[in-house]
Each structure stands twice: as structure tokens, then as C-alpha cells.
Structure 1
Amino acid sequence: MGPIGIFDSGYGGLTVFREIVKKLPQYDYIYLGDNARVPYGTRSFETVYAYTKECVEQLFGMGCRLVILACNTASAKALRSIQQQDLPRYPDLRKVLGVIRPTTEIIGNHTQTRQVGILATPGTVKSGSYQIEIQKFFPDITVFQHACSMWVPLVENNELDSPGAAYFVEKDVKQLLQQSPAIDAVILACTHYPLLLPLIKQCMPPHIKVLSQGTLVADSLADYLNRHPEVAALCTMEGTIRFFTTDNALDFEEKAGIFYGRPIRAEALSL
């Protein structure tokens, strides 16, 4: 038995993690941010897979039997390979889950026009993962995507209220909506983007639903553990949380509070 592992390439996964902790506070958690090698979004499939696999194995080595990839790029570019190629090599039960499926499997409940928009990083858009997954669950839905290359840097530099952030958010939202006037639901397919939600809603027509991943992933995880008691039985329940980063711990702590919503203490580790 061990804690639930939460992995992200850096800080963004903390917006998902905080919702998981709210929903399931009884479990133990280890959060690992690979800040030394961020960003993942612009890297190749092979590189993202190699980095993600290394971090997942690190979490396995720290006692985690269940790992959540709280990163859209890792979920898009590495999850399937890890599930199909790597997990079968372990003699005991281990699970790795992502953030894309919990979002895509419920999107049909939020659209009347069956036209959905995706705002994401260039890497996630290029992977086509959201289009592929939505088509599996809802073949009648048409998906429109737009890559927001400036949003992550704006968030990580705490420019949430700056004129630059307002300019790029408005520009990217308009470019997505220009693809179809019938879009009535938009998925924020990056864990950084909820921090820009006030600006996004200012630019988005009021009839369009904007879906963030945090609560959706938390609800999905709670349901998964309920349906899979054999996995839940592997997760310890003392309510402890530890944060790790592959970069400087003090630097991580300084920015992490923006995403997690409160101050944290972090430890550095080398892979």
C-alpha cells in the first residue's frame, strides 16, 4: 500500500490536485513536478514519453501504486504507451490514469449543438487526443481546436491581470469561435488555464459553457476508486501530502501557491 501519485510537468497539475484533495481528503498523496525539464508541450512524443515514464517509475519507487498524470501533454503523448507497454511488465497491480478521458467522456452532457471547442497547448492540439477520445464516446460531436501558445508563459509569470494576458486571451478565444458560430461548449484542455478563467469568461459569449478539468478529474477519480475497490485498497488513508520537484524547491514553493491556492512546502529530488 502507498500514497496516490500525482504527476505533472510543472505547476499546472496543482489545479487538478487541489480539486482531488477537496474531493478525497482522506487519502495520502505525493505530487511530483518535473520543473527541471518543463515545458513538455513543445517536445516530441518520444521525449514526453521518456520523461513521463521516468517520473512515473520514480513515483512507483516511492510507494505509489496508482499514479494520475495531471498533465494534458503527458496524458496525450505518453499515457497509452505506458499503459500498454510498461505496466504489463510489473508483477503486481499498478495503474496510471490521465486527465483527458474524464473530460471527454462527459462532454456530450454539456452541448446541445454537438459542436465543441478545445483550447489547449500546441502539443495537445497536435496530438489530436481530444478529437480522438471525444469521437469514441460521441461520434456525432464535431470538435474544433485552437492552440494557445502564450497562455502557459503568462500564467507561470503571474501575469494573470496584465494587459498582455487580456490581449492574448481575447485573441485566442476569438480565433477558436471563428471556426464555428455553433460552438456551445469549450474545454480548457490545459491545467494552467483555470487561472485565466475570469479573462476567458469576459471574452466568451454567456451561452457557451466553459469546462475546467479539476472538478471533472476529481469526480472521475472518486468514481473509479468506488468501482475498483482492489485499487482503492492499495492507497493509504492518513491524509498526508508531500510535494516534490526536480528543480529548486524554494522556487517551486514560490509559484506553487498560485496554482494550489495556498502555500506549500516542497522537497527537491534528482531523477
Structure 2
Amino acid sequence: MQNSSPIGIFDSGYGGLTVFRSIADQLPDYNYIYLGDNARSPYGDHSFETIYKYTLECVEWLFEQGCRLVILACNTASAKALRSIQQKDLPVKYPDRRVLGVIRPTAEVIGDFTLSKQVGVMGTRGTINSESYLIEINKFSPDIKVHQQSCPMWVPLIENNEHLQPGADFFINEYCNSLMEQCADIDCVLLACTHYPLLLPRLKTVFPDYINILTQGEIVANSLVDYLRRHPEMEEKLGKQGKKLFYTSGDTATFDSHASIFFGEELVSKQM
């Protein structure tokens, strides 16, 4: 009998839909449940304890919906909650479930995109303050120097659909210039927030042409394909009817009106 366990994809809001889009493009036959915790978003300025609590609650909700594998498509949750969930909660309460994040897959491959070994990381305050990228990139590429820049205004601009308006230029230029002032030799910039791919058209006009601007969707999707290849015991439990369900902890009408910008197609969500 074919199993029907969906892959759970979690984000504090809308940004994880950019990762979901890439995953669904590469693995279109699988079943998915997306959960956005919009009622408590953004996560970026919350404490470690609060982010861990919120993330665990949402992961457990996805487990209750039948998900055996959950992707934290949120840099802040990956930085501040993933390790605790993997080490404290899964072994005791959910030994047959797995939770993966977006930081490690990115850290594994970022060395392929820089010649100068000077890399910029742009993210929320929570992600930047956690120093998770410094730690993870150093594990795989200790010769790389990481320069960080928090961008607290970018998520509000994007979620209010103001990111491509002239009024957003000040904050886009300010954060990009602040990053490059740290090191003129940066030749690779990682957008370490799943909202930020929507800024790509503007960022390509601000950064010099020689800089590689990395988004995480394709990287995380490639990593998931590899994970399922290496873990057939998990892969065989996953449903493959091509179903996609969307849930939000916030208002569904608001979610639906914003989500299409991130996912690239119209969708209809349900209340979690």
C-alpha cells in the first residue's frame, strides 16, 4: 500500500514559500503541507526561547497532520530552534520523525561560489545574532571569511509589497553599502532569509556584476533530493499524489493575497 505521508514545510510567514516553490519544482510528485505562522510573525527579533517554543509547536502540529519529514524553510527558526529540536525533542518523543533546516545545506556549498573567500551574509537580526552561518560555514570551509549584515527593514517592506517601490531604495542601499564597507573583496553574497529573493531585481542593480548573489531555494531543494536518495527508509513512506496544502495561523484571506507573490501562483489556504 502506498504511503501518503506529506513533507511538511514551515516558515514564520511567507518567505518559506520561495523554498517550497523550488522543492516542488524539483520533486513535483510528492505531497506537501506548508504552514506559515503568520499570527506570530516575524520571528527575527524574538528571543531564542520564544523562537524555539513557536517552532516546536508548529513542527508538532505538522507531525499531527501526518508529516514524518519537516523542512524549516526559515533561517531564524533554523538558527535558533533546529538544533534543540533535533537533539532534545526528536530522540525522546519522535524518534521516527526528522526535521531539517536551510543553514547547513547552504554552508556545505557556499565555497563553490567564491574565489576571494570573502562572503557576505544578509539576514534578520535573529539569524545574524545567532552567528549560525559563521559556525556552519567554518565547519565546511574554514578558509572563508564571513561578513554579516542584519537587514531589519527588508521583511516588513516585502510583506507589505513595498520592496520594489522607490521608497524601499534607501534601506536596500543602506544595508548593501554597509556590507560592502566591511570588505571590498566580497564576491559572494548569501541572502540568508527566504523573503529576500523578491529583492533580487533591485540587488542586482546595487551590487557589482562580479558578485554572486545566492538564494536558498534551489540549494535546499538539491539537498532534499540528495537526502531522500540517501534515506530510502524515509523516502518510501512519503506520499506521491502531488498534493499541496497550505495553512496559516493568521488570516487566510490576507495569507492568500500575499502568498502568491512568493509562491508564483494563486493558492487557497486553511486555518491551522
Instruction: Please report the TM-score for the alignment, with normalisation by the length of structure 1.
Output: 0.98
Partner of 1:71: 74
| Corresponding residue to 1:10 among 6, 9, 13 | 13
| Corresponding residue to 2:203 among 190, 200, 205 | 200
Partner of 1:238: 241
1:223 maps onto 2:226 in alignment: yes
| Corresponding residue to 2:61 among 58, 63, 67 | 58
1:179 maps onto 2:182 in alignment: yes
Distance 1:148 1:192 in 2: 11
| Corresponding residue to 1:133 among 136, 139, 145 | 136
Q: CA deviation at 1:160?
A: 2.4
Q: CA deviation at 1:91?
A: 5.7
1:164 maps onto 2:167 in alignment: yes
Q: What is the RMSD computed on CA atoms of the aligned residues?
A: 0.8
Distance 1:89 1:245 in 2: 28
1:85 maps onto 2:88 in alignment: yes
Q: Report Cα offsets for 1:179-222 as digits up to 9, x if no partner.
A: 00111101000000000001011000111100000111111101
Partner of 1:46: 49
Contact in 1 for aligned 2:154/2:163 (Cα 8 Å):
no
Distance 1:233 1:92 in 2: 17
Distance 2:43 2:232 in 1: 33
- Tell me the SS of whatever aligns to 1:74: helix
Distance 2:164 2:191 in 1: 18
Please, which moves more after superposition, 87-96 or 194-203? 87-96
- Percent identity over the alignment? 58
Distance 1:9 1:92 in 2: 24
Distance 2:64 2:94 in 1: 14
Matched residues, number: 269
Partner of 1:264: 267
Distance 2:126 2:92 in 1: 28
Query: Hey, which bits of structure 1, 4+ residues long, moved more than 2 A?
Result: none
1:29 maps onto 2:36 in alignment: no
Please, which moves more after superposition, 95-104 or 156-165? 156-165
Partner of 1:104: 107
Runs of 5+ unmatched residues, structure 2: none
Q: Report Cα offsets for 1:150-195 as digits up to 9, x if no partner.
A: 1001100001221121221111111001100111101000000000
Runs of 5+ unmatched residues, structure 1: none
- Tell me the SS of whatever aligns to 2:35: strand
Q: Which amino acid aligns with 1:149?
A: P
Q: Report Cα offsets for 1:69-90 as digits up to 9, x if no partner.
A: 0000000000000000000013
Q: Report Cα offsets for 1:231-250 as digits up to 9, x if no partner.
A: 11121111000000011111
